[in-house]
Amino acid sequence: MPSALILIADGTEEMEFTITYDTLVRAGVSCTSAFVSNGNMQESIGSYEKNPPFAKGSRGINILPDTYFSPRAATPDKYDLLVIPGGAKGAETISGSSAVQHLVREYLEAGKLVGMICAGSLAALTSKVPKQPLTSHPSVRDQLKDGFEYSEEPVVVSGKLVTSRGPGTTFPFALTLVELLCGKEKRAEVAGPMVFPEGTFA
């Protein structure tokens, strides 16, 4: 069974997190959400209680993560996919984490998939991912356009890096991840019962 680690922080965009998580689960992917603290994780992780707090999303919706983010428990030998959602504040916390930056490089070097959506694509910049095709939310385009081959396509696949634009492109983003992990037939199997209007991206 393929597995995915989906990061979340205070300020994460709720649709980008939940739609991706839900779509992957429908495909039979084992998903774990991990809360990234905006403090110093390395110093404070030992003082955390067992269960993480609710992450307060960008629209004020509380989401309970499965676990705290731990670099030691998130290595690419444990998961097939790493997902970084957007939401300005959440993306700032996640992309600014040196542990996450190291993990992004580790996943790509190990040939594992990394998905970034909306402002989450800033993690490609902070992780010093080599120049390649990429997209993001328009609000962070100027920070990325010089360091990458910037595209305005809804979903951009560049080797093992998959990027997308925002809440409205989350379904094609998530379904693309399903296809890359589980194949085209599984993508069609998952998309069918969702009943997308004819002519849309499914």
pLDDT of 50: 62
Please report which confidence band the pLDDT of residue 131 belongs to, taking 50, 70 and 90 as the band edges. Answer: very high
Kind of pairing, strands 155-158 and 161-164?
antiparallel
- Summarize the confidence of residues 153-168 as an average pLDDT: 98
Look at 79 and 198; give whichever has higher pLDDT: 79
What is the residue-averaged pLDDT of the chain? Answer: 93
Q: Rounded to 5 degrees, what angle do the CA atoms 194, 174, 155 make?
A: 120
- Summarize the confidence of residues 95-105 as an average pLDDT: 98
Please report which confidence band the pLDDT of residue 44 belongs to, taking 50, 70 and 90 as the band edges. Answer: very low
Annotated catalytic residue, options 14, 31, 106, 137: 137
Note the pLDDT tens digit of each residue in 48-60: 456 778 999 999 9
**Is 137 one of the catalytic residues?**
yes
Q: 13, 163 in Cβ contact below 8 A?
A: no
Neighbour-count burial for 60-91, b at 16+ CB within 10 Å, e otherwise: eeebebebbbebeebebeebbbbbbbbbbbbb
155, containing H or E segment = strand 155-158
Please report which confidence band the pLDDT of residue 200 belongs to, taking 50, 70 and 90 as the band edges. Answer: confident
Q: Where are the domains of the chain?
A: 3-194
Looking at the chain, the whole-number percentage of residues with pLDDT higher than 70 is 94
> What are the start-end ranges of the H helices in the chain?
14-26, 41-44, 88-95, 98-109, 122-126, 141-144, 170-182, 184-191
Q: 28, 81 in Cβ contact below 8 A?
A: no
Count of other CB atoms within 10 angstroms of residue 33: 24
Annotated catalytic residue, options 14, 118, 179, 182: 118
pLDDT at 78 over 90: yes
pLDDT of 43: 41
- Summarize the confidence of residues 69-98 as an average pLDDT: 97
117, containing H or E segment = strand 113-117
Class of domain 3-194: alpha beta
Note the pLDDT tens digit of each residue in 137-148: 999 999 999 999
Q: 17, 62 in Cβ contact below 8 A?
A: no
pLDDT of 202: 65
**Is 16 one of the catalytic residues?**
yes
Annotated catalytic residue, options 16, 31, 106, 179: 16
C-alpha of 77 from chain center: 18
SS3 sequence of 90-107: HHHHHHCCHHHHHHHHHH
pLDDT at 77 over 50: yes
Question: Would residue 60 be called left, alpha or beta, if left means φ above 0 and alpha means ψ between -120 and 50 degrees?
Answer: left
